Each structure stands twice: as C-alpha cells, then as structure tokens.
Structure 1
C-alpha cells in the first residue's frame, strides 16, 4: 500500500483534514470531484472554537485580511424590529475565550486553507476525481474512481459532504432527510444597505416559521444575508436535484413565505440584488462512534454529522474534526496504526458533534416558534440576554482528544 492517506473532498473540511495531517507529517492525496478547487455559497460564521483551530495551524493571520469581526449579536423581531436580546462579541469574546468571533466568505477561508496546504504540507491534489467504490483491507484501502483509475492508501477519510459516497460505502445508502426548510442566500455591498443595517454586528430576525440572519464579511465591505423559511421543496426556480447547493430563486417567493415584515427587515430584503435557494437536508444526531469511523475509513464534517444552520457551527465542527485527527498522530510512530487513530478520533468527537446537531435542531424550533413558545422565547431573551445565548461549552473548544 502506498504510504499516504486518501482524503475524499476538496472543500473546507477536506483541505482542513489534509492540512492537519500534513502538519503531522502524513502524506495526503486529496480527491476533488469538481474540475477546480473552490467554494460555492457565501458567508459563514466562525466562533472562537473555530478560530482557535485556525490559530493553532498558523493561518488565522492570513484569514484576518479577509474576515470581519462583529462587535455584537442582536436578535430582533422580524415583524417590528424590536430588540429581543443581544450578546457581546468583539473584545468581549476575545477576552473571554482567547480568540475572536469572525464572519467570512466561504471562498476566502477555502483559499487560505488551500494556500497553507500548498505552502508546505506533503499533499497531492487531484481534480475530476469522483469516487466510484472502495474496499477496506487489513493493511490499507483500495479505491476506484469513476474515470477508472485505481488508487491505494493506508486509510481513507470521507470529507465529501452531505451526499458523501464514502459514507454510503461505510454505513449504507440511507439518504439525508429533507427538513422542509429552504435557505435563500444573498450578498450585498455595504454601501447599498440602509445605514442603520450596515453595522458591525450579526443580526438575527425571528418570525413565525422563518428567520433572517445578516452580518458583515470581507472587512465590512459586503454583507451576507440568509433567510430561512419553512416551505415545499422545489419552490420557485429550484430544480429537482436536491444535491444542488445554489439554485436561482425569486424574491417574490421569499416574501410570500416570510409574511409581514417590519420596515427595516423589508428594506434589507429589498436591497439584496439576487437570491439563490438551498433546500436544507440533515441527518439525525449521531448515535455512536461507529458513525464516525470503522477500521481504516473515517468520516469528517458533513459526511458524518450534517447540521442545520441554526448554531452557525457547520464549518467549525469540520475544522474541529480535522484538528482532533492531527492531534492524534504520533510523529514517532511508523507506520501509523490508522484503525487505532480512527477509533480514538471517533470516541473523541461523536458526542460533541451529536450535541451540536441536537442544539441546532432545537434552535431551529425556537427561532421559528409561534404562540406561547414564541412568547416564552422573547421573555427569556429579554430577562437572560447573554446568559441564554452564550455557549461556553462550545466556544471554549475543541476539547483535547479522549484517551
């Protein structure tokens, strides 16, 4: 078997995995099914736990050139703009957790990781490399691509996202579940926003069966906007392929799904020049370490534990997964006992990832609440504020690997 690890997927999770292993001296082959390396989508939020990982890898400074660092999280009513609660970020997050809270464009984070990988990690990158099948043996993994090439490696790590082929080969063909939630995404230059909305804050607007989030990216020059509504898959211009990340969408469809809005939020929605639509899928929270790894095959990020975007931790959990793997590599152990490493990795990660999955589900129900639940949510936010919204168990991570 070749002395390398095969990493399926060249997105944020795959590059993070390759970088973490490369820093530990492990040669890696990254297999990306697309014809070019890059990221689609728009903005993401990176809590102090994610920034701690990037700092440990020495790439946080490079990301600072592209990121924004919001001063505050504000939660507001979608109907009338009333402030429901807030949480300090900025200097407060830095003082409390030792690392900042950042918001970035996905493509900027991807470029930073790719540059770091190319700068010195022992990695080779292959494009148009779509996995057809693999077989795990006692001394390695054999893999075949759709184009016919056969590859061998000491281990295989599936970082190939929600519709992971590695997951299918490891755990069976159970597809992701359709959530009934639709995410409309857009970006807007800061100078096209109403002045009251172009602030260095993360704003979350909550309404019945919907919510909107907007925050600065690219050092405040742009704002990312995500509106999530509950509705029928295939609404508007969405195609029939649920695996498609970005599909053209109509503003009128979004406005009909959202219902009456306050003037500020209406102004924000009207200012977005165009929308893309993403039909949200997920999986139930993990139930055990077997869902993370078996033998010489492991799953990382969305391939193992896809999240609804209601805790802003999808990218962070992939980064934490990769960091944990890197921590488990003993530079003095040759060859690496991958089955043992993956077993420790799975024990270390599955419960935390399951908790984040469960919290994301819960947040979605709270964000979209109606009736008495909505009243209780608003009252609790008003009374408890930061104590309710802060997550020390989360932002203080990632935890060190389990023994």
Structure 2
C-alpha cells in the first residue's frame, strides 16, 4: 500500500531508499532493535547479480551478529590465502594467510560469496522480520525535510511521511546532493566482471586462494564462489581512450588490447570474461557531513570507494549495524543521526582514502613495479598488524 484513502502520504517511522546490501542490512538491524522500517527498492524485483563480493571479518562479524552468517556460509568459500601476483611476469609477489591464524586473530573468517547469495539471505531475513516492510518498483525522485520529518515522493506517485530517511541509493544518490556537493571522481578505470563454471577456470588459477594480479594501470581478482561451483573474475584497467575523450572508452575491444600485454594465465582469464556489461569505476573524496536532522546517507551514497581493499560492501554493512546503536543512545532522530555520523564518517573516510592510496600502489608503473614487489615480498604472510585497524576496529566491535 502506498497511499491512504485521502491521498495523504503513508506514515512510516524509518524509510530506507535502496535495497542493496547496505539498505537491507540497515533494515534488518533497525528492526531487530525494535524500530519499524519501510524499505523502497526502485527495481521491480530483486534479481540475480552476476558477480562476487568479498567479506572481511569486520563484515562477517556484523552478519554473525544479525544471525545471517550461518545461513550464508554453506554458499560461501573461505580462501586459504590472498595471493598477490605480478601480471607481467606471472611471478608470485606475496601473500596473506587467511587460515586459522587469521580467524584466531579477528574472531571471524574472511569469506567470498556470490553477491546474489548475500542479498538473498539478507532479503529473506528482512521478509521474516515483522517490523520490515519492503516495496519494489519504488524509485525516490524527491523529498522535502522539515523540523518534524521528511516527505518522500516516488516516480510512480507514491508518497511517504517518515521520521527519518536513510539514503542507501548508491554512487549517484538523489539524496546526497542536498548534503554534499561534487561529482564522482573518474580517472578512466573500467571493470569487466562475471563468473564461470569452476571446470572452465584458467589453468594457472589457484583454486583455494583468492588471487589478485597487479600491473601498471591494471588489476585482476579471481576467487571461487557459490560453495566452489563458480569462479568469479574481475578485470580492471585504465582506458587510454578515456584520456583522448573517446565516448566509447573502456570497450571490450580495448579490454582485449590492454590484456594482451600480460602473462598467459591473465590473458586467458581476460578472454573468458563476458563482454555484455562494463562497469566504469569512480569514487569520491571523503566527507565529514553525512546527515541533516532527518536524513542520513549510507553505503556508496556516503562513501563510494575504489574496490582494491574489497571494503565497499563491508563498509555499507558496518553503516547498517551502526544505525540501531545510534538510535539506542539518542533522545530523538536528529541526535541519533548525528551520533551515527560521528561514529561512521571518520572510519569510512579512512577506508576510502586508504583504498585510493592502495590502488596507486597496485597500479604503479615503471621502476615502481620492482620497488613494490621487493617491498611486498618481505611481508610475513601471518603478520596482520597493518590490517588490525581495518578488521578489528574498536568502534566496529562496540
């Protein structure tokens, strides 16, 4: 139901715009804390998303707290290591042990899963939760905030009156522009991604490892999903045609041209990627202000980041579980959203900035390749000190 009989907006307590990983996590977490939620998803239905997602222990800890992890693990894969490889030479650079020592340190595993499997488990948990109402085919097109609440209008004419609006509507959020100005930052990087049956995986692929190939202006990530039945691959490169102003930059033809420079396993893997969809990559600079008195940003609407740290989805999950904590300690909605911003903006901003810096290291060229490989090559696979801030942050555990 989208409108009452007299045509006035539907009254709701908390309205979430966007049914991705972050929006679903927020809806579930708020409902479990006793707060009624209505979630609006612009798509007509929740459809299969054809690629994987990495979940560090900061995310699996949160999902465990929501009771979702045990349902997800049979569909997930826990890699034994993260293996960094040189895409030019084909040589191993370094690795991070993700096995028993890693789990013992952080209390939860690093897993990789098909994004659709994660979304389906979160959606199922929300559907079973009496305090969550989900409506599809509802695209937010306008909202108006006043001292007492927010009025939201959707493309189909449906309207709502909420005490709080949580905007989980992605990189190009309609809501963000009223809180922070500026366009997404794009530098010509594009990704092609997809899954193939495990039997068709590249000959050199490490079946029990998560592999990241790095090269100048390039990286490729490979890992198993769906309990090991599928192999997920993501190929990223910086388009030279972008610099030239070509509107067709990052085309499949340019993908093939670019990846011909690399070692055979990488060339073969790139040839197996689907060409139907390309994903231009963009991020934004961190912002300190995520909220107004009645509106808050969440996930990519607040902190879109480059994918090299595999934290985009993880940080959205952290956002989702932070909301009920903020509401529990606040006297009213404005105080709750302000507490949410204070808790999350510095943390997510640090992850954004770190992702950008690490992308520069992974994509470095020239003499920097040898220097990076030599430095990384000295790393002890079980030395996790540089990861503690990311996976074991005190604010995340609280």
For 2:282, the equivalent position in structure 1 comes to 281
Q: How does 1:356-375 map to 2 (within 5 A)?
A: 356-375=351-370
Q: Unaligned stretches of 5+ in structure 2? A: 1-9
Report the Cα offset of residue 90 of structure 1.
Answer: 2.6
Q: How does 1:180-259 map to 2 (within 5 A)?
A: 180-231=188-239, 250=252, 252-259=253-260
- How far, CA to CA, are the matches of 2:49 and 2:298 in structure 1? 19
Report the Cα offset of residue 80 of structure 1.
Answer: 2.0
- How far, CA to CA, are the matches of 2:44 and 2:366 in structure 1? 49
- How far, CA to CA, are the matches of 1:275 and 1:201 in structure 2? 27
Q: How does 1:286-305 map to 2 (within 5 A)?
A: 286=287, 288=288, 290=289, 292-305=290-303
Provide the secondary structure at the position in 2 that maps to 1:81. coil
For 2:268, the equivalent position in structure 1 comes to 267
- How far, CA to CA, are the matches of 1:344 and 1:129 in structure 2? 29
Provide the secondary structure at the position in 2 that maps to 1:177. coil
For 2:4, the equivalent position in structure 1 comes to none
Provide the secondary structure at the position in 2 that maps to 1:4. strand
Q: Does 1:32 align with 2:32?
A: no
Provide the secondary structure at the position in 2 that maps to 1:154. strand
Q: What are the superposed Cα offsets for residues 51-88 of structure 1, whole Å, 9 maximum, x if unpaired?
A: 00000001100111211110001111101210100110
- How far, CA to CA, are the matches of 1:273 and 1:123 in structure 2? 36
Instruction: Kindly indicate whether the alpha-carbon contact (under 8 Å) linking 1:22 and 1:28 is maintained by their aligned counterparts in 2.
Output: yes
Structure-2 change in CA distance of 1:232 and 1:125 (3 Å): farther
Structure-2 change in CA distance of 1:41 and 1:299 (3 Å): farther
Which of 307-316 and 262-271 deviates more?
Answer: 262-271
Instruction: Kindly indicate whether the alpha-carbon contact (under 8 Å) linking 1:76 and 1:205 is maintained by their aligned counterparts in 2.
Output: yes
Provide the secondary structure at the position in 2 that maps to 1:316. helix
- How far, CA to CA, are the matches of 1:55 and 1:294 in structure 2? 31
- How far, CA to CA, are the matches of 1:283 and 1:120 in structure 2? 34
TM-score of the aligned structures, taking structure 1 as reference length: 0.90
Q: How does 1:35-46 map to 2 (within 5 A)?
A: 35-38=44-47, 40-46=49-55
Q: Unaligned stretches of 5+ in structure 1? A: none
Report the Cα offset of residue 322 of structure 1.
Answer: 0.6
TM-score of the aligned structures, taking structure 2 as reference length: 0.91
Q: Does 1:349 align with 2:344?
A: yes
Report the Cα offset of residue 356 of structure 1.
Answer: 0.5
- How far, CA to CA, are the matches of 1:46 and 1:400 in structure 2? 14
For 2:333, the equivalent position in structure 1 comes to 338
Aligned partner (choices 136, 141, 154) of residue 163 of structure 2: 154
For 2:379, the equivalent position in structure 1 comes to 384
- How far, CA to CA, are the matches of 1:323 and 1:259 in structure 2? 44
Instruction: Kindly indicate whether the alpha-carbon contact (under 8 Å) linking 1:327 and 1:401 is maintained by their aligned counterparts in 2.
Output: no
Provide the secondary structure at the position in 1 that maps to 2:219. strand
Provide the secondary structure at the position in 2 that maps to 1:94. helix
Provide the secondary structure at the position in 1 that maps to 2:277. strand
Instruction: Kindly indicate whether the alpha-carbon contact (under 8 Å) linking 1:77 and 1:83 is maintained by their aligned counterparts in 2.
Output: yes
- How far, CA to CA, are the matches of 2:48 and 2:305 in structure 1? 18
Structure-2 change in CA distance of 1:239 and 1:40 (3 Å): farther
Provide the secondary structure at the position in 2 that maps to 1:179. coil
Instruction: Kindly indicate whether the alpha-carbon contact (under 8 Å) linking 1:87 and 1:389 is maintained by their aligned counterparts in 2.
Output: no
- How far, CA to CA, are the matches of 1:66 and 1:18 in structure 2? 23
Q: What are the superposed Cα offsets for residues 3-56 of structure 1, whole Å, 9 maximum, x if unpaired?
A: 510100011111111011111111111111111123534111000000000000
Report the Cα offset of residue 261 of structure 1.
Answer: 1.5
Structure-2 change in CA distance of 1:275 and 1:365 (3 Å): farther
